[in-house]
Chain A
Amino acid sequence: MYSFNYQKAQSVAQAGAALTRSDASRVISGGMTLIPSLKHRLIQVDELIDITGLPGWRDIRVEEHQLWVGAGATHQSVSRHSEVRTFSNGLSELAGMIGDPQVRARGTIGGSVANNDPAADYPAAVLGLNATIKTQKREIVADDFFLGMFSTALASDEIIEGLRFNKPLKSAYAKFRHAATGYAMAGVFVAQISKGQWRVAVTGATDCVCRWQEAEAAAGTVPKDLRFAHDNVLDDIHAPAAYRTHLVHILYAQAVSHLA
């Protein structure tokens, strides 16, 4: 990789200020996406600011019916946390399905959400539960956060501090692993938010995580004529669009069948 200067952030404000100052500064969390990109010289940075050491950065706690997950919480810590399991079955099981054990020990929710890889798992839970993303500047609800492939509402100098989730009545996540990468070839998060309100988020199958309104209207049932329609279903050497679309249907049914 190209040379850069590495430093540990003293505070979120200090890290944010560095990002404001220069386009060639980046923050690093787990590094599971950033390090490979740097290794392949896909990006070049002058300054790399490590935000994982900040106090409270990895906190996971339930406070007043809301779950706070610090941006630096690893996938492993989220998946093993007993309070997360009771708070949202779907969120807990999703975290345990990300990548492989070594990736889960390092990768963080903040990093994953900020990157918004179309095949990442977390965006499905974040959108599925309409979590609030808190940065050092403001709070953004999930519905307003994921804008497109690798694109979010974050300003270039905005750093995620953590996410706040509201407790669903039930939730579940079903994923079909990409044979090569282990990412989601498709992943569906289903949540019953309240008695009459459902959310269904789909990742992996299109260019960006999205909600599936028709499935939400099905309110936890699996109607025979339910159809996933989207303009940008991914089509590549691994799977044609028709297959991914089909996966969305069966994963939705799978998730519904193990809602908890």
Chain B
Amino acid sequence: MRLVTATVLLIALGLGGCVTIQPWERGRLAQPDMQFGGAEELAAAEAHATEVREGSAGGFDAAGGGCGCN
């Protein structure tokens, strides 16, 4: 647990500010296929259905609330 936390923090701190990409160079990164969350209209219900069938939760994008009966 501590090792994972330390690794994540090191990656974050190590990368911060080490690269600066100008706004006009970010056109490709702004395209929908480069977004981490994906299309919300496709992901919302599927993420909820997945999360309520697993013992773990969180980390990825929000899956909504409620008890998850389905």
Do A and B interact with each other, yes or no? Answer: no
**Chain B residues at the A interface, C-beta cutoff of 8 Å:** none
